[in-house]
Structure 1
Amino acid sequence: MKTKLLLVILPAVCLCCRADSICAQQRSSMGVDRPIKATSMQIENDSSVTSARGRISGILKDPSGAIVSGAKVTIRNTASRFKESLLTNRQGYFNFTAVPVGHYQVIVKAKGFGLASVHDVAVAVDEQMTVEIALKLASISTSVMVISPTANPVTATLHQVNQNDRDESRNSAELLASMPGISLRSNGQLASSPMLNGLGDERTKLLVNGMTVSNACPNHMNPPLSYISPSNAAQITVMAGITPVSVGGDSLGGTISIESRSPDFAGPAERLHEEGTSSGFYWSNGQNYGGSLSEWIAGHNLGIGYTGSWVTSDDYTDGSGRKITSTYAQSTDQALTLAARNARNLVVLRAGLHHIPYQGFVNARMDMVRNYAASLNLHYLRRFDHGGLDTHASWQSTSHSMNIGRDKITFPMSMWMPMNDHGTDIGYSAKYEVPFSTQNTLRIGNEFHHFVLNDTWPPVAGGAPMMGPSSFESINNGHRARLGTFVELASTWNAQWTTLIGARNDTVWSNTGPVHGYSAMYAADAAAFNASSRAHTDVDSDVTALVRYEPNASTAFEAGYARKTRAPNLYERYAWSTSQMISSMIGWFGDGNYYVGNVNLKPEIAQTVSGTATLHDHARKVWEIKTTASETHIQDYVDVDPLATIANGMSTFAQLRFANHKARIYSGNMSGDVVWINPGFGKSRLSGVAGWLHGERLDSRTSLYQMMPLHLRMNLDEEFKGWSAGFGVEAVDRKSDVDPHRFEQKTPGYALLHLQTAYHASHLQLSAAVDNLFNKNYALPLGGVNLDDFLASMSMSQIKPVMGRGRSAYLSATIPF
């Protein structure tokens, strides 16, 4: 108990104490951070410039005088090809150091604002030019529609993805790892799945460039975030718990949205706007390496861009040096973007090709032997004199195959069992926002999503009657269609009080065709399923109410209530066979158990209350701490009922049928950071995030499956003269609250130390890191069980948790052009 208490209060103590000690220093020092490099997150120092160079600096503000952070500022020499870009920091500050003497144009691009430029900025030797730039609201929307502040709750977290994030993340889900409320369910190398306050998979809504993508696999080996590579991710928004109905629907935990970079067009003084990046990386543990290339060319109204990436990895080793088999993978992603605009319209068309030729899964009986997807995503924005229209139309086709991979095929008595899935997603969304008074903004919208799935397992030669002579139809023409409509009102009553209320209806239709098994031995289950009433119409209703109070410039409080509903997925309802072999192939939990669907499942209904407090210094320059607590009651939570206990060699598994139960989840999250400048030594930053969860099934008073134990991440970084260095600590408490129905494994607590450093120049970024410096051997609390070891022993070993990655060195290089 003392350990847990220390883990909870440690971030707050460290951050508050450090903030108190440096506030006076900040008030008497230069008062602003250094700017951020657009190709990294590097802070440039303004000292030690050469004798033939000068500096350009300034602060960006909007028409009201408020600072504008995260804007891209580019300086361009009018006589040479010299060009450099920065992102403004939290105080809207930018500072170019070591600028060659000459005449420059300064160009500023920021979301929601028109392009701004200043011409003929003369840089002399050892002089600093201060540029004053006041941005104006854009006449058209060049990115997302500008939404009033009450659209997103205080609990929403926005993260701008930088090149270090991209290189150090093995999949896009890992970009979320340090965000409050997020824990990652370890799956394949490329298929981690985020859980938001203990609710993952379809219980959390995942949007990729505004597009809804479904799992087309009985093991969820191809989750939505696997279809966007880290190299193509630019911005992540996480909304936990009290999610506005305008971005929710058919989910319980909240919404996670990953967006690619918005198109940039040529400025008034440019004929063409061109930019690109080439990068490569290498991780020593598992021989994980790859590279990416991006290029964007645009005129004043038309643009085209390409992003491509390729990654490969072998099996990694744990802290004891033992190989963790079936953790290999390879992937290729390509995306083409076309954009066009005029005075009030923006159209963006994205086309994607995604190919995984192989990916191992240590916690599953099968591996991915092929996954190919093609997608089209059309985004249209229209700005009116009052308000705007934001629409998406999308299509994706996925072909997915499973079988035993290159490691499992070497095991004694390995079972060859091909399984093929084909899924098609098609959908649209339309959202209209209009301010109808100085206080109120109305949002209305309509969405449609249709998913069609066919899951067929071909016969195996000589495998009859268990695996032949016919194919096995797991899901035959299964379809799930959702039509949603919402209305939402955001109100600003005065400088202290704002509210957000909304209501939403989603109607979900699901059905599947008649099925058959490999042979007559499956006839009884097939006949019972075919005779059942499989068509369902679920009418779901969501409500959100939020109130925000800001008594002063350094404090904000928020409280809210949400009612959310989710209809079951196709496998939860329509996985029909009670055969042990068949049901062992169903399930996305990594626990080795056997799952059977339930055609009579009801939708889940969650009711959440949440409160958030945010404290920061008056100017929001030095420190910030945010805490959130929530309680969620879930009626008809889709859990399991036991059908049989299966003794398999030295281990015990369960055959389970999906069933509705009542559940409750408590959660607490805290995050914060503090920044200080040491004259002559650069800028320092201490940041941290901690989380706690408790979930239980109310009828049995037992723990829900895969509830992340108490965990903490802290980082200390120092940046000086183009160099950055730091270390991070990751600590996780022991997992003792486990689900007895699934024989969930307990895991001990652990702490890991990570080191990182980087060097940034105008046209080169080099990074190096060491993860798990002391080569700690630890079990992944959400990693499931190591089925590979169990199968390799011919079921004669005790089932154990999957072990985490041992020490790994990392190198990367990025060249912007």
Structure 2
Amino acid sequence: MPRASCLAASVAAALLLSCSVSAAEPRADEPRADNPRANEPRADQPAEAPQSEVPVLDAVVVTAVRPSSALTFETDPKLPRQPVPASDGADYLKTIPGFGAIRNGGSNADPVLRGMFGSRLNLLSNDGAMPGACPSRMDNPLSYVSPENYDRLVVVKGPQTVLWGPGASAGTVRFERERRHFQSRELQLGGSLLGGSAGRNDQVLDATHGAPSGYARLNANRSHADDYEDGDGRTVASAWNKWNSDLALGWTPDAHTVLELSAGFGDGEARYAGRSMDGAQFVRESYTLHFAHERPEGRLGAIEASVYRNLADHVMDNYSLRQPNPAGPMPMPMASNVERLTSGGRVAARWRGDGFEATAGLDAQDSRHRQRKAPGREAYRAQAWATDARFDDVGAFGEVAWRAGGRDRLVAGARVDRASATDARVTVGRMPTPNPTAGVTRHETLGAGFLRWERVPGEGALGGYIGLGRSERMPDYWELFSADRGPAGAANAFAGLDTEKTTQLDLGLEYRSRRVAVWVTAYAGRIDDYILFTYQSGGMRPTTSVAGVDADIHGGELGIELRPADHWLLGGTLAYAWGAQRDNGLALPQMPPLEARLSLGREGERWSFGTLLRAVAAQERIVLDQGNVVGRDLGPSAGFATFAVNGGYRFGDRLQLTAGIDNLFDRGYSEHLNLAGNADFGYPADPVRIGEPGRTVWMKFNLTY
């Protein structure tokens, strides 16, 4: 892989001169200079009991994120991180213990939390859903998210919130932007420049002009990379080029009210070493109208409402970013254009009283999917669109938090949804035949709820929680429409798949003192009618069937931060996930292996330096050719370890330089969750996992004004 020698020299010099780093996060309850109201209770989040002051270093390079409260992880996605700063939402999530991703090239990996995939994760950006359109999730929801265009990433693990939509059995992920009030007229500018190996270069701009009556904010970014070389020197098809821009106009008639209209657009392209087609287009159109009003006094604390419209217009082909393979299943140029329009809204109110706080509301979503395709270059454009699916959901939710005195509280929530799915396909199958469920609409009533006790940790005092949650979800588009066959005896997946029900116990402990912070989380769950894909070899490509099985899951995460001396920080995390099918005793496929991360660094007034060791165990608990719509178990995977270094220099309060070298020793390795390399790029017929990047050098400038 060609290396940028001058960049490497600059980074090496910075690292040699560096003498400190921090992998720590800013306190979740620390007020931001640009938002003096950030500490006030939010309508969507019960107020926390006050926490004792714990000295936490400002983050220079994020290597791991610790919980900010029970089951909740919060971070600023604008912060530099190691490995090389992320190009998509799934990549950034990997800094939170328990997260992984199904890898298929350089960008747009599909997120996995504790082995759970797809719509078991509720993925939201700016409080709206954008599910993506590709039947194989080439454009998964987070492929449309550029992390640095958001101010906050909030993750709730497990079925322990009901405020943000149905399902969410594995967790809820929200990328958020702040809505600000200004005391006087001012201009705020921020941005970053990133350069690195394999032609990586990113540009980010965040500009806001504010006044007491309102504001205008522009977020924009561009990200580019060429194909990388793995640790064995093999070039991996992985190049991407993408851009996003969002404009928000806010009206703030008083200090407690905001009405914001935002519009966002984006596009891109990406090569995929693990797919028979590449992403030639990722057009995004997003519109949101949001209203919020907070009341400092009285029982009604706040009310907020929002509506959104998100369009994903995605093109995949085998000729824009590669040459058609004459010996492959698609020897001629072929393209497919898929589109998904998702609209929805939400209204919620928060009440407060003596010792309690409650949030309740309604939400709704409508999603329509259509497609067109044809052989030949650009021939699809002359084809008519054909709608194949429609989804609707209306839900009511409520959460209440009671303070039991001192640091204890009890939190409970419940929601009910009426969901429907319509099969609009006229024909099905590789050799089209009439669809037996054409025009059929199925309706489901979905229930969810949880009960959790919490004790907020204090200075030198142990805190913890224990919660029981239950979630039921409608099978999603990919489960109902992508498989070739449904359960045995069913006409197809649409007719045969039941709703998936998860019951899970979550518990955790946390201890904080001036020198030590330790947290541990554990979970154990039962899943009825877990939706499982099975791949069978045959023809030009494997066929898939989908069915429901009963499953057991358990696992957990552990984190520790030690400050042995001023300016020094030693950190470590451990994540483990396990699953099994109850009916036959087989493992649950696509489970990530045991993973540990260790970091050591030193933070000074100007300079910083740090190291990161990532160690991943072998995974031998597999079920060959079972998995999900994107990935399947390809066989056992080997363990590996990589080592990275980073450094930084603050030129002042406004300018910061960070740099790093990932995979310092140029190790050849691959992730367990992985698509097999595609024959179009010379991979053999027997499944071979895609190799990860070799030694990678990067440098990033962050500017705020």
Give yes or no for TM over 0.5. yes
Provide the residue aligned with 2:65 in structure 1: none
Provide the residue aligned with 1:536 in structure 2: 442
Within the alignment, does 1:303 sit opposite 2:189 as a pair?
Answer: no
- Cα deviations across residues 206-246 of structure 1 (Å, max 9, x unaligned)? 11111111121112122222223122122111111141222
Q: CA deviation at 1:731?
A: 0.7
Moved over 4 A (4+): 40-43, 143-146, 150-153, 470-473, 550-553
d(CA) in 2 for partners of 1:68 and 1:233? 16
d(CA) in 1 for partners of 2:481 and 2:49? 40
d(CA) in 2 for partners of 1:668 and 1:738? 19
Query: Match for 1:275: what amino acid?
Result: Q
Query: Match for 1:557: what amino acid?
Result: G
Name which of 239, 246, 249 aligns with 2:156: 239
Provide the residue aligned with 2:635 in structure 1: 745
Name which of 69, 72, 77 aligns with 1:161: 77
d(CA) in 2 for partners of 1:256 and 1:149? 20
Provide the residue aligned with 2:704 in structure 1: 816
Within the alignment, does 1:210 sit opposite 2:124 as a pair?
Answer: no
Which one has a larger percent helix, Structure 1 or Structure 2?
1
d(CA) in 2 for partners of 1:769 and 1:736? 32
Q: CA deviation at 1:603?
A: 0.8
Greater Cα offset, 742-751 or 305-314: 742-751
- Cα deviations across residues 464-522 of structure 1 (Å, max 9, x unaligned)? xxx99x9798x73410011111122210111143111121101111002242479xx83
- Residues 472 and 516 in structure 1, CA contact (< 8 A), matched pair in contact too: no
Provide the residue aligned with 1:704 in structure 2: 588
Q: CA deviation at 1:748?
A: 0.6
- Residues 346 and 363 in structure 2, CA contact (< 8 A), matched pair in contact too: yes
- Cα deviations across residues 71-96 of structure 1 (Å, max 9, x unaligned)? 234xxxxxxxxxxxxxxxxxxxxxxx
Q: CA deviation at 1:564?
A: 0.3
- Residues 265 and 273 in structure 1, CA contact (< 8 A), matched pair in contact too: no
Within the alignment, does 1:675 sit opposite 2:563 as a pair?
Answer: yes
- Cα deviations across residues 110-160 of structure 1 (Å, max 9, x unaligned)? 3345xxxxxxxxxxxxxxxxxxxxxxx6xxx9x866632289961211112
Equivalent positions of 1:18-417 (< 5 A) are 69-73=29-33, 109-112=35-38, 147-149=46-48, 154-165=70-81, 168-260=85-177, 262-267=178-183, 270=184, 272-284=185-197, 286-325=198-237, 327-343=238-254, 344-356=256-268, 358-384=269-295, 385-386=298-299, 387-406=301-320, 408-409=322-323, 411-413=325-327, 414-417=331-334
Equivalent positions of 1:485-634 (< 5 A) are 485-516=396-427, 522-523=431-432, 525-530=433-438, 534-549=440-455, 553=459, 554-575=461-482, 597-617=493-513, 621-634=514-527
d(CA) in 2 for partners of 1:189 and 1:814? 23
d(CA) in 2 for partners of 1:451 and 1:478? 8
Q: CA deviation at 1:434?
A: 0.3
SS at match of 1:168: coil
Within the alignment, does 1:419 sit opposite 2:336 as a pair?
Answer: yes
Provide the residue aligned with 1:786 in structure 2: 677
SS at match of 2:323: helix
d(CA) in 1 for partners of 2:211 and 2:420? 45
Q: What is the aligned-residue RMSD (CA, Å)?
A: 3.0
- Residues 283 and 809 in structure 1, CA contact (< 8 A), matched pair in contact too: yes
- Relative to 1, partners in 2 of residues 1:472 and 1:639: Cα closer, same or farther, differing over 3 Å? farther
- Residues 197 and 240 in structure 1, CA contact (< 8 A), matched pair in contact too: no
- Relative to 1, partners in 2 of residues 1:701 and 1:626: Cα closer, same or farther, differing over 3 Å? same
Query: Match for 2:644: what amino acid?
Result: H
- Residues 46 and 357 in structure 2, CA contact (< 8 A), matched pair in contact too: no
- Residues 755 and 771 in structure 1, CA contact (< 8 A), matched pair in contact too: yes
Provide the residue aligned with 1:636 in structure 2: 529
SS at match of 1:222: coil
d(CA) in 2 for partners of 1:654 and 1:340? 54
- Residues 419 and 456 in structure 1, CA contact (< 8 A), matched pair in contact too: yes
Q: CA deviation at 1:324?
A: 1.0
- Superposition TM-score, scaled by structure 2 size: 0.85
Provide the residue aligned with 1:99 in structure 2: none
Residues matched between the structures, number = 646
Q: CA deviation at 1:438?
A: 1.0
SS at match of 1:703: coil
- Cα deviations across residues 531-588 of structure 1 (Å, max 9, x unaligned)? xx7311011100101012358651112111111011111232234756xxxx9xxxxx
SS at match of 1:164: coil
d(CA) in 1 for partners of 2:28 and 2:114? 31
SS at match of 1:702: coil
- Relative to 1, partners in 2 of residues 1:548 and 1:792: Cα closer, same or farther, differing over 3 Å? closer
- Residues 46 and 401 in structure 2, CA contact (< 8 A), matched pair in contact too: no
Q: Which has the higher contact order (CA 8 A, sep 6+)?
A: 2
- Relative to 1, partners in 2 of residues 1:812 and 1:68: Cα closer, same or farther, differing over 3 Å? closer
Q: CA deviation at 1:694?
A: 0.8
Equivalent positions of 1:690-729 (< 5 A) are 690-729=574-613
Q: CA deviation at 1:185?
A: 2.2
- Residues 145 and 381 in structure 1, CA contact (< 8 A), matched pair in contact too: no
- Residues 609 and 630 in structure 1, CA contact (< 8 A), matched pair in contact too: yes
Query: Match for 2:207: what amino acid?
Result: E
SS at match of 2:526: strand
Where do 5+ consecutive residues of structure 1 fail to align? 1-35, 44-66, 74-107, 114-136, 462-466, 584-595
- Superposition TM-score, scaled by structure 1 size: 0.74
d(CA) in 1 for partners of 2:69 and 2:663? 35
Where do 5+ consecutive residues of structure 2 fail to align? 1-20, 51-67, 487-491, 627-632
Q: CA deviation at 1:389?
A: 0.9
Greater Cα offset, 600-609 or 415-424: 415-424
Pick the structure with greater CA Rg: 1
Name which of 483, 486, 490 aligns with 2:394: 483
SS at match of 1:572: helix
Provide the residue aligned with 2:6 in structure 1: none
Q: CA deviation at 1:410?
A: 5.6
SS at match of 1:336: strand
Q: CA deviation at 1:805?
A: 0.8
